[in-house]
């Protein structure tokens, strides 16, 4: 039985993780931390305001779904206390990832921008398609409470596409009438367009084009439970994955 703590336990994802951990016979929810929800009780565990509750409860694996600013403090703290981390928080820079790699030496960390199997496959398919097309643009659509843009999934998709091909047609735009109309440039210069739309959860399209044809790879998350099988799997596997593992692909053999 793996003893699991949650940081960001009062958030939308944190509460879904608490439900999933409590429902899994191989995991036990032992601690929950979130200053915004301190005092509330989740599946019999009182939400604490500070990280030290995780050590007090003997958490072996800690799941973090917060904001990048908070995780920059939390993750080195977990590493220092020998706890494994499963991280869904997005908005990290390459420097952040390098810092996490140096911190996690005695325990391990799995960081995934998207824990939904369909999104992992979308990224893999995009990587496979990239060498065969001349144009690519990413459109990501998220709910209207999301604080970072573009999404971690869009950035990771752009990274994968860029690692698979750098041979893209030039952007024909000569005059931008409305600033930002052509989106932002992600890794490898891949254009990313971020939409924030009330009523949605998380959606992404990767649109490829070549002579006379297009290929659109689309993934839609309609409910946060879509992320939970991936989170539960990472909680069970993180102890076996030395250091920092990026993405769920490795754990799924993709
Ligand atoms: P949310 O705003 O509902 O929840 C975030 C919670 O973190 C809040 O309750 C807040 O009080 C808490 N928090 C902030 N600072 C904290 C700290 N220092 N210590 C403890 N708790 C702290 O947001 P959300 O929709 O649950 O998303 C959380 C994160 O997960 C975001 O970064 C989002 O992009 C990411 N996300 C990732 C995936 C994935 O599959 N990897 C899926 C959905 C969302």
Choose which residue among 6, 8, 72 to substitute to test ligand 1 binding: the one with the highest number of ligand atoms within 8 A of its C-beta: 8
Token digits of residue 52: 């030290």
Mean pLDDT of the chain: 97
Q: Has residue 132 got a pLDDT over 90?
A: yes
Token digits of residue 121: 């496959």
Choose which residue among 17, 19, 34, 220 to substitute to test ligand 1 binding: the one with the highest number of ligand atoms within 8 A of its C-beta: 34
Same domain, 45 and 72: yes
Taking alpha carbons only, the member of 245, 229, 247, 224 closest to residue 11 is 224
Q: What is the distance between the alpha carbons of residues 14 and 4, in angstroms, rounded to a whole number?
A: 12
As a residue count, the chain comes to 254
Q: Has residue 243 got a pLDDT over 90?
A: yes
Cα of 202 from ligand 1 centre, angstroms: 14
Any idea what DSSP says for residue 109?
E
Q: What is the distance between the alpha carbons of residues 60 and 75, in angstroms, rounded to a whole number?
A: 14
Exposed, middle or buried by CB within 10 Å (0-12, 13-18, 19+), for 92?
buried
Same domain, 129 and 189: yes
Same domain, 123 and 164: yes
CATH number of the structural domain spanning residue 129: 3.30.360.10
What values do phi and psi take at 36, rounded to 5?
A: -75, -20
Q: Has residue 254 got a pLDDT over 90?
A: no
Same domain, 94 and 122: no
Query: Is 32 a pocket residue for ligand 1 (Cβ < 6 Å)?
Result: no
**Count of the separate structural domains present in the chain:** 2
pLDDT at position 250: 87
Same domain, 139 and 60: no
Choose which residue among 52, 67, 122, 220 to substitute to test ligand 1 binding: the one with the highest number of ligand atoms within 8 A of its C-beta: 67
Same domain, 228 and 215: no
CATH number of the structural domain spanning residue 94: 3.40.50.720
Token digits of residue 180: 């930002």
Query: Is 104 a pocket residue for ligand 1 (Cβ < 6 Å)?
Result: no
What values do phi and psi take at 153, rounded to 5?
A: -65, -40
Query: Is 10 a pocket residue for ligand 1 (Cβ < 6 Å)?
Result: yes
Quick one: CA dihedral 105, 2, 7, 49, positive or negative? negative
Query: Is 71 a pocket residue for ligand 1 (Cβ < 6 Å)?
Result: no
Token digits of residue 139: 């459109």
Q: Has residue 135 got a pLDDT over 90?
A: yes
Same domain, 106 and 37: yes
pLDDT at position 98: 98
Same domain, 96 and 121: no
Cα of 176 from ligand 1 centre, angstroms: 35
Domain ranges, residue 196: 117-221
pLDDT at position 253: 87
Ligand 1: which atom is nearest the Cα of residue 114?
40
Same domain, 160 and 132: yes
Helices (H), the chain: 12-23, 52-56, 68-80, 94-103, 117-129, 152-164, 228-237, 249-252
pLDDT at position 114: 94
Query: Is 13 a pocket residue for ligand 1 (Cβ < 6 Å)?
Result: yes
State the pTM of this model. Answer: 0.92
Per cent of the chain over pLDDT 70 is 100
Mean predicted confidence (pLDDT) in 168-187:
97
Cβ count within 10 A of residue 99: 15
Same domain, 81 and 158: no
Residue whose CA lies nearest to ligand 1 atom number 20:
34
What is the number of H-type helices and E-type strands within the chain?
Answer: 8, 13
Same domain, 107 and 230: yes
pLDDT, one tens digit per residue, over 51-80 is: 999 999 999 999 999 999 999 999 999 999
Q: What is the distance between the alpha carbons of residues 45 and 38, in angstroms, rounded to a whole number?
A: 11
Q: How confident is the model at residue 142 (pLDDT cuts 50, 70, 90)?
A: very high
Same domain, 132 and 100: no
């Amino acid at each position: 039985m793996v003893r699991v703590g949650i940081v960001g336990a009062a958030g939308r994802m944190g509460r879904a993780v608490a439900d999933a951990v409590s429902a899994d016979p191989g995991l036990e929810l032992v601690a929950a931390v979130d200053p915004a929800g301190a005092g509330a009780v989740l599946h019999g565990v009182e939400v604490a305001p500070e990280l030290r509750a995780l050590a007090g409860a003997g958490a072996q694996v800690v799941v973090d779904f917060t904001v990048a600013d908070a995780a920059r403090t939390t993750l080195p703290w977990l590493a220092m206390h020998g706890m494994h981390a499963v991280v869904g928080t997005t908005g990290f820079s390459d420097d952040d990832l390098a810092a996490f790699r140096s911190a996690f030496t005695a325990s391990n960390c799995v960081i995934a921008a998207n824990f939904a199997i369909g999104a992992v496959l979308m990224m893999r398919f995009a990587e496979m398609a990239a060498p065969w097309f001349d144009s690519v643009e990413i459109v990501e659509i998220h709910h209207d409470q999301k604080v970072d843009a573009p999404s971690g999934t869009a950035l990771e998709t752009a990274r994968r596409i860029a690692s698979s091909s750098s041979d893209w047609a030039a952007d024909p735009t000569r005059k931008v009438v409305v600033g930002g109309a052509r989106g932002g440039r992600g890794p490898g210069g891949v254009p990313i367009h971020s939409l924030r739309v009330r009523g949605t959860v998380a959606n992404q399209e990767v649109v490829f084009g070549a002579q006379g044809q297009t290929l659109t790879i689309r993934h839609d998350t309609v409910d946060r439970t879509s992320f939970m099988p991936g989170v539960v799997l990472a909680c069970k596997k993180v102890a076996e994955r030395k250091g920092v593992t990026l993405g769920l692909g490795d754990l799924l053999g993709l």
